[in-house]
Amino acid sequence: MPVFAVGRPTGHYGPVTTPAERLTELLSAGEPVLDRVMAVIASIAPDAPTEDDVVGELDQLAEGLEHDAPAGKVMRYAYGQLGFVGNVANYYNPANSLIHRVLRDRRGIPLTLAAVGVELARRSGTELSIVGLPGHVVVGEGGNPTRWFDPFAGGAELDLDDCRRLFARFSPIEQFSPDMLSPIDQRTTTVRMLNNLKVSYRSLGDLSQIAKVLELAVSVPGSPVSERHELASVLAALGRDERAIEQRELLADLDPGRAANHRLAARHHRARRN
Are the C-beta atoms of residues 251 and 225 closer than 8 Å to each other?
A: yes
| Residue with more model confidence, 4 or 116 | 116
Query: Which tens digit of pLDDT belongs to each residue from 218-244?
Result: 999 999 999 999 999 999 999 999 999
pLDDT score, position 177: 93
| 3-state secondary structure at position 103 | helix
Q: Please, are residues 247 and 231 in contact by the beta-carbon 8 Å criterion? A: yes
CATH architecture for the domain at 201-273: Alpha Horseshoe (1.25)
Rounded to 5°, angle at Cα 136 from 134 and 138: 115
Residue 7 has pLDDT above 50, yes or no: no
What pLDDT, in 10s, does the model give residues 63-112? 999 999 999 999 999 999 999 999 999 999 999 999 999 999 999 999 99
CB 224 within 8 A of CB 218: no
Alpha-carbon torsion 27, 32, 36, 38, what sign? Answer: positive
In the chain, CATH 1.25.40.10 covers 201-273
Asked if residues 94 and 168 have their Cβ atoms less than 8 Å apart, the reply is no
Q: Which residue pairs, CB below 8 angstroms and at least 24 apart, start in 140-148? A: 140/181, 140/183, 141/71, 142/71, 143/183, 144/182, 144/183, 145/181, 145/183, 147/71, 148/181
Pairing of β 85-86 and β 107-108: parallel
pTM of the model: 0.91
- pLDDT of amino acid 16: 58
250-266 pLDDT tens trace: 999 999 999 999 999 88
* pLDDT tens digits for range 144-155: 999 999 999 999
Residue 1 has pLDDT above 70, yes or no: no
Instruction: Mark 193-206 as b/e (b = at least 16 C-beta within 10 Å).
Output: bbebbbebbeeeee
